Amino acid sequence: MTMNNYIHIMKNKLIDYRTPLSLLNWVSSRNKHFGRYILYSVSEAIGKEIQNHSITLEDKEYPLFECYAKDTNDQYTYLLITTHFLISIVDGSTYKADIECISFTLELEDIIAIRKGRTNYNEYACYDLQSSVGIIPIWIENGICEHILWGVFNQLHYLKMKYGIKNN
């Protein structure tokens, strides 16, 4: 489902329980063993300097993770996860959903199994994320980016479960 027009359907959001800055601190501190070249720390996020200048963050919205990649047609893709949304740009289409809408069920073991199951080396991998608004394709750089993405998803999933937030 292409979402060039964002649809807001969530009733219960993480930022109802934690401030966006607190959410950023939570995810950042629990993934601090990863390099900071993709994850944002608090001091960097206040500047809100994301790589894609076509996206404007809302007031009190902070970036958590971003990644440029390439699809099988050698076209650039972009993934941005903020304290409010997941935004994926693939083949000129923009997919945008509340972070609460995304199913973060991918486990580290699943990523390792996917990597072991690859027969051809590709620098980038595609994942189809399940969400309450449809499937959202994301492209991610193999290796450390996959593990960082899992770390971010794991923390967001934990917070959703902690506050009883279900996908609508």
Q: What is the CATH number of the domain that holds 96?
A: 2.30.29
pTM: 0.81
Residue 37 lies in a domain: yes
pLDDT band for 17, please (50, 70, 90 cuts): very high
CB 159 within 8 A of CB 14: yes
Would 51 be classed as within a structural domain? yes
> Has residue 167 been placed in a domain?
no
- pLDDT of res. 142: 83
pLDDT digit string, tens, across residues 111-155: 777 777 777 777 888 888 888 889 999 999 887 788 788 888 888
142 is a domain residue:
yes
Number of structural domains (the chain) is 1
106 versus 75: the higher-pLDDT residue is: 75
Q: Is residue 3 part of a domain?
A: no
